Amino acid sequence: EEKYKALFLSPVTFDDARRFNYAYTGFQLPVGAILTSPIRRLDYPSSEKTRNSKTPNVGALTTRLWWDAN
């Protein structure tokens, strides 16, 4: 939990979450969080979407990726 706080908004926190299968014991999402479940994927930046018409549509940020079957 302390590592998550120290690295807040760093991609490393997502790596750790996937590595531990989102099984943080007693972990609480931040107060006022918009999503009710952990993020499983990241969206492309808006600058990429406006400059590249072939940017894939990510969909919901909580959707599992093809390799995240657990």
pLDDT tens string, the chain, 70 residues long: the values are 788 778 877 878 777 777 776 666 677 777 888 877 777 788 889 999 999 999 988 888 888 777 776 5
Q: Residue 14: what pLDDT? A: 73
Q: Residue 69: what pLDDT? A: 66
Q: Residue 52: what pLDDT? A: 94
Q: Residue 17: what pLDDT? A: 72
Distance CA 11, CA 55 (A): 20
How far lies 22's CA from each of 26, 28, 35, 40, 70, in Å?
A: 11, 12, 15, 9, 10
pTM, entire model = 0.50
Distance CA 52, CA 41 (A): 20
Do 57 and 29 meet the contact criterion of CB atoms below 8 Å apart? no
